[in-house]
Amino acid sequence: MGPVQVEIIGGENGNAYARLPAGSLPQLQGLLLYAQQRPAYGGQCVLVGDREALPEYWQLQLQDSTVDQIIGWGFKEEVSTGRPFVALSSPAAARQYFGSHRFSNTLFLVFAGSEPVYSDLLGYLGAPLHQATLLVDLDALCHNLEVHRSALKPGIAVAVMVKANAYGSGLIETGRALERAGVDYLAVAYADEGLQLRRAGVECPIMVLNTELAAFGHLVQGRLEPVVYQYSLLSALAARLDEYQVDMSVHLEFNTGMNRLGFEPEEAQAVGDFISRQAHLRVATTFAHLAASGAPEHDRFTEQQMFKFAAACTELDRHLGYRPRRHLLNSGGVARFPQYDMDMVRLGIGVYGADETSVLQPKLQTVMQLQACVSQVRTLQPGETVGYSRAGQLPAGARVATLGIGYADGMPRALSQGQHQVVINGQLAPVAGNVCMDMCMADVTGIPDVEAGSLATIFGVEPSVEVVARRLKTIPYEVFTNVGTRVRRVYRQTVRRHSGTRAAAATPT
């Protein structure tokens, strides 16, 4: 079997949902391969829409698969499939069953012969149904990771930022994809995020960038590695580790000019002496944060940061008695200063498809596309207005489409009244009137075949996230992370069978 692209919807509690079109054996095989990537994340469950959704040749496919359970929709009796089978004969039986069973970290393969049945099944399973969608291309994510890796010397470790819900893309599925891609570290802002990853079955090392002593329990429970940036935190953490007789790896941050968090370079000797006396504390890495790696006008300042960091590390290592890994470069630093890759780099926005330096941008692929469905289309007469405060003035009249997305979903109000154009049926449609909390309107005059259900792209390939950021006078980071939690995340990734039996994500080329 050749490569197959699978598409899943991310849900709560680490669950994910994939629809299988009736009669699509290659898609079934692809999804079963995808399921083999998730053994640490929980059981897999197949939902059957009706008898036609489980023909005999599918039953044969399931017998040697990783599927743990089958739930039959509309079945009055069990079906012989080689797996535990739950027959749900009616909506009442479905409500009773799903009301008393809680799933986590489960991949649901939803087999439905019709759209209403599919929607009903997703509803019973608790899947997100809001049609505003962030489409996340995990193949593009892995491609961008490899673009940055190729700029480094062989053997350089890579940490990838998944803080702030993985830059809006969805913490769990993005974290799992990056772990499968072989990153050395995932980095989160707070311990809560790291614990979510652990509960979702992610096993790779996790660095916590903004450590709070109040989260000590999460750090221990989740085997998380905190960043330590000041002496009071260091001593308090050491005391707690002694009290509980727990070992912990930590990361030391030095302030070399960012002036946000970090020990001053002059503290390196004292910090090294203190840690060398601790029985339960070991430094995994030391790092500093570049303030302006993407700005050529500040290159002299960036180089001064590098020299300060190197000097601090040398002093720290001398007093520690060993040499932790060092890392300094972020995405912009990898693009412009790959010669300073040291032992590890920290990748963020570049992996998600945006390069503030423009050096690597031609090689990067779009990872996220924010889309919404048209809810209704109406024709307005000359002089009529649209939206709150009658702000949408339409002196010549217009055809106006209402989209199911608003500023609570990541469509900022600052894009109102023609400040942005969405793409519908391949054509630009300016925003009409003020963006509402849950909806916005677009002028689709002259765009053919726009109707309820048509897709509108807020950002993606066109218009790009950089275009939206410029219109908002902000940066792509903010555009990505402003995508609301009620927007469903839909993930696409290609899987293929290697020479063994285990499936793997297709290696980007």
The span from the CA of 21 to the CA of 53, in Å, is 9
CA distance 295 to 278: 40
Beta strands 440-443; 185-188: pairing state: unpaired
Say if CB 352 and CB 134 are below 8 A apart. Answer: no
388 is catalytic: yes
CA distance 366 to 133: 15
Task: Scan for tokens 């012969």, then name that residue.
Answer: 113
Identify the active-site residue in 17, 124, 163, 229. 163
Which among 12, 10, 35, 27 is positioned nearest to 135, based on CA atoms? Answer: 10
The two three-digit tokens of residue 260, written as one number: 């946000």
Buried b (16+ CB within 10 A) or exposed e, 365-377: ebbbbbbbbbbee
Q: Is residue 63 within 8 Å of 81, Cβ to Cβ? A: yes
Alpha carbons 321 and 303: distance in angstroms, whole number: 27
> Which residues lie across from 44 on neighbouring strands?
107
Terminal-residue alpha carbon distance, the chain: 19
Residues 6+ apart with CB under 8 A from 507: 142
Q: With left for phi above 0 and alpha for psi between -120 and 50, is residue 290 left, alpha or beta? A: beta
Beta bridge partners of 85: 70
Helix (H, G, I), strand (E, B) or coil at 149: helix
Show which residues are catalytic: 163, 388
